[in-house]
């Protein structure tokens, strides 16, 4: 197994790994499922049953794994590609070839988590390039930065797959073995703390100094009461609505609201159905192409809604100001959740209600992430995966087609999800007026802060310190060594202390010290690598 394949087969499999990753990022097609990739590679190298068997085995290993909040998991798809290729190359009997393939597939899958972290970190370059393009009012460059954001994702798979297949297993295993542990830890820690920048940026757009009590309520529910995000969202909605229903509205204000509401309804819309369809396809196909640790899906959302913004804000200055508003942190389930949020945002922007649009995004992304991830990762995918794996292990290609069907179901549901959100957004606009806008914006902002109180610690939960202290204590006249974990001490004082300190430290640098996003990013990269390398975080 020391020798690899020719350049042609290596290139084909590298292209497949690139396309499979991008298809999963955008329309959620499951080309990157281990069984689907096992079938494709098996067909290319002339051993379909072996590819299905390896893919089915790795599929079962991936049960329960999901990229919650952008978490990195073992890349069993790349493992299936490389493992199947080497297993077929070995020319061994099926059982022994399976063992040889798995011996390569598992370490490759684990090794790819490090390249995945590197790829997700490099995409941060693209969102800062888009920031500069917006500042320079260069729309073409803005689009390029988003569309080119796929390169770190796709190449982080295609390049190692090409060289693994071409060179053979020996050099790859040597590379995996010789990566310094400190560098691996550093990149992992950097990936864990980078979302704090996105949250810090987001908090600068929310009135946290005015409504900080709602943030505290959300944090207490998550940290002390273990309430899931959906429960926090429902509670936030109830409490916020009760709070604002108790605030009286003056009669004169009500009359002004009714008059303004009629004016809103009569105003002709510059947005056509063609514009909405254009925006919808952009969102459904490319939302996550430029996903990055810092602001996650923000650039994809901004690029998708840009056709609407161009019509609503024909003035160049206003258009780029609107784009900048949508470049803040955004992350939710891309198939169940984001289309509906995006549709509502399009409707609100169409009727020039930007404050409500921004607050609605923040308040809904967490709950929809919880709903979508639960439906997709806990309810549906394991059921499909078990049936698909059982078929694949019996040598049936039906398992691959079953997983492909699941991916196309998610893709199909994105379209009615968009129109549902759009219609609900229009309904919300029709109830607005000059006074009501402020009231609804306050409701959405406070609900967003309430939910952020739980959302921030949930995403940054992996920011912990492994530091331990050992001291001698006397117990019943005998000296014994006692280990004190620093993280346990922090948790006793305040759960999720480090995520909160990190996030509000970033917020302080941005809001009070007026650091740029890039300055804070570079600081987090250096701090993450150093703290991870020295096992401090």
Average pLDDT rounded to a whole number, residues 381-403 = 82
372 contacts: CB under 8 Å, gap ≥ 6: 332, 333, 334, 335, 336, 337
pLDDT the model gives residue 251: 47
Pick from 110-114, 303-307, 410-414: least confident? 110-114
What is the separation, in whole angstroms, between the first and last Cα of the chain? 39
Q: Which helix (H) or strand (E) holds 54?
A: helix 48-61
Q: Is the confidence at residue 535, as pLDDT, over 80?
A: yes
- The pLDDT value recorded for residue 477 is 67
pLDDT 10s digits, 116-125: 777 777 888 8
Question: What's residue 146's pLDDT?
Answer: 93
**SS3 track for 322-360:** HHHHCCCCECCCCCCCHHHHHHHHHHHHHCCCHHHHHHH
> CB-based burial of residue 379 (10 Å sphere; 0-12 exposed, 13-18 middle, 19+ buried)?
exposed
List pLDDT tens digits, range 472-518: 766 666 777 777 788 888 888 899 999 999 989 988 998 888 887 66
* Residues facing 484 on adjacent strands: 469
Encode pLDDT of 195-211 as tens digits: 787 678 767 767 788 88
pLDDT greater than 70 at residue 243? yes
- The mean pLDDT of 320-333, rounded to a whole number, is 88
What band does 333 get if pLDDT is binned at 50, 70 and 90?
Answer: confident
User: How much is the CA Rg of the chain, to the nearest whole Å?
Assistant: 25
Residue 325 phi, psi dihedral angles, 5° rounding: -60, -35
Average pLDDT, the chain: 80
352: alpha, beta or left? (left if phi > 0; alpha if psi -120 to 50): left
pLDDT score of 400 more than 80: yes
Tokens matching residue 473 = 């204590």
pLDDT at 433: 42
pLDDT digits (tens, 9 = 90+) for 334-351: 888 889 889 989 988 888
Q: How many whole angstroms separate alpha carbon 298 and alpha carbon 279? A: 15
Angle among Cα 281, 284, 288 to the nearest 5 degrees reads 125
Strands 478-485 and 468-475: what pairing?
antiparallel
Q: Would you give the DSSP letter of residue 30? A: G
Helix (H) / strand (E) containing 468: strand 468-475
Band of pLDDT at residue 241, cut at 50, 70 and 90: confident
The region that residue 242 occupies, defined by phi over 0 for left and psi between -120 and 50 for alpha, beta otherwise, is alpha
Residue with the two structure tokens 């809001």:
511
Q: Burial letters for 16-43: b for 16+ Cβ neighbours within 10 Å, e otherwise?
A: bbbbbbbbbbbbbbbbbbbbbbbbbbbe
88 and 13 Cβ atoms separated by less than 8 Å? no
Model confidence over 367-381: pLDDT tens digits?
777 677 767 766 677
Q: How far is the C-alpha of 503 from the C-alpha of 129, rounded, in Å? A: 23
Residue 298 above 70 pLDDT?
Answer: yes
- pTM value > 0.95: no
Question: Using an 8 Å Cβ cutoff, are 536 and 185 in contact?
Answer: no
Predicted confidence band at 296 (pLDDT cuts at 50, 70, 90)? confident
Mean pLDDT of 15-40: 85
Note whether 334 and 301 are within 8 A (CB): no
Tell which residue, 352, 349, 373, 377, has the closest CA to residue 361: 349
What pLDDT is recorded for position 71?
59
Highest-scoring range by mean pLDDT, 99-108, 236-245, 412-421: 412-421
User: What SS3 state is found at 137?
Assistant: coil
Burial class of residue 93 (count of CB atoms within 10 Å of its CB; 0-12, 13-18, 19+): exposed
Q: Is the pLDDT of residue 190 over 80?
A: no
Instruction: Determine the Cα–Cα distance for residues 239 and 423; give it in Å rounded to an integer.
Output: 26
Lowest mean pLDDT among 136-145, 210-219, 343-352, 464-473: 464-473
- Residue 142 has a pLDDT of 94
What value does the mean pLDDT take over residues 269-297? 89
- Confidence at 264, pLDDT banded by 50, 70, 90: very low
pLDDT digits over 50-107, tens only? 888 888 877 877 765 555 555 566 778 888 888 888 877 777 776 777 767 777 777 7
Task: Write down the pLDDT at residue 1.
Answer: 44
Listed residue (457, 469, 532, 451) closest to 501, CA to CA: 457
90: tokens are 């070995």
pLDDT-based confidence at residue 441 (cuts at 50, 70, 90) = low
């Amino acid at each position: 197994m020391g020798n690899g394949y020719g350049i042609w087969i290596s290139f084909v499999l590298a292209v497949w790994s690139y396309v499979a990753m991008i298809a999963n990022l955008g329309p959620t097609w499951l080309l990157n499922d281990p069984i689907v990739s096992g079938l494709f590679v098996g067909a290319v190298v002339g051993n379909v049953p072996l590819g299905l068997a390896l893919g089915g085995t790795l599929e079962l290993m991936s049960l329960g794994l999901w990229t919650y909040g952008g978490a990195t998991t073992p890349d069993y798809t790349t493992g299936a590609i490389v493992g199947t290729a080497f297993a077929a190359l070995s020319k061994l009997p099926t059982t022994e070839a399976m063992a040889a393939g798995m011996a390569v597939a598992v370490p490759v899958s684990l090794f790819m988590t490090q390249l995945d972290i590197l790829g997700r970190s490099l995409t941060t370059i693209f969102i800062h390039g888009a920031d500069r393009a917006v500042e320079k009012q260069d729309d073409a460059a803005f689009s390029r930065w988003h569309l080119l954001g796929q390169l770190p994702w796709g190449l982080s798979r295609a390049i190692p797959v090409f060289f693994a297949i071409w060179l053979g297993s020996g050099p790859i295993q040597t590379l995996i073995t010789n990566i310094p542990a400190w560098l691996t830890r550093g990149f992992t820690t950097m990936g864990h703390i980078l979302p704090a920048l996105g949250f810090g940026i987001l908090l600068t757009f929310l009135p946290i100094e005015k409504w900080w009590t709602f943030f505290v309520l959300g944090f207490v529910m998550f940290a002390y009461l273990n309430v899931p995000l959906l429960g926090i969202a429902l509670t936030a909605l109830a409490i916020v609505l009760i709070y604002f229903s108790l605030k009286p509205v003056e009669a004169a204000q009500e009359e002004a609201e009714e008059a303004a509401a009629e004016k809103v309804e009569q105003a002709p819309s510059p947005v056509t159905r063609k514009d909405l369809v254009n925006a919808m396809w952009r969102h459904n196909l490319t939302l996550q192409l430029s996903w990055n640790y810092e602001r996650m899906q923000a650039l994809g959302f901004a690029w998708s809604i840009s056709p609407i913004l161009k019509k609503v804000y024909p003035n160049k200055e206003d258009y780029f100001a609107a784009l900048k508003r949508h470049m803040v942190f955004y992350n939710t389930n891309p198939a169940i959740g984001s289309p509906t949020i995006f549709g509502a945002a399009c409707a609100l922007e169409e009727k020039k209600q930007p404050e409500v649009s921004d607050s609605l995004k923040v308040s809904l992304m967490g709950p929809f992430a919880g709903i979508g991830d639960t439906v997709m990762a806990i309810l549906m995918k394991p059921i499909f995966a078990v049936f698909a794996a059982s078929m694949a292990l019996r040598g049936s290609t039906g398992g691959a087609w079953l997983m492909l069907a699941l991916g196309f179901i998610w893709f199909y549901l994105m379209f009615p999800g968009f129109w549902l959100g759009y219609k609900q957004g229009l309904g919300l606009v029709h109830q607005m007026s000059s006074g009501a806008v402020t009231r609804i914006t306050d409701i959405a902002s406070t609900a967003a802060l309430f939910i952020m109180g739980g959302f921030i610690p949930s995403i940054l939960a992996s920011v912990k310190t492994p530091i331990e202290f050992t001291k001698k204590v006397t117990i019943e006249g005998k000296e014994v060594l006692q280990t004190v974990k620093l993280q346990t001490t922090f948790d006793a004082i305040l759960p999720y202390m480090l995520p909160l300190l990190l996030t509000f430290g970033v917020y302080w640098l941005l809001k009070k010290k007026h650091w740029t996003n890039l300055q804070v990013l570079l600081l987090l990269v250096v701090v993450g690598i150093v703290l991870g390398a020295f096992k401090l975080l």
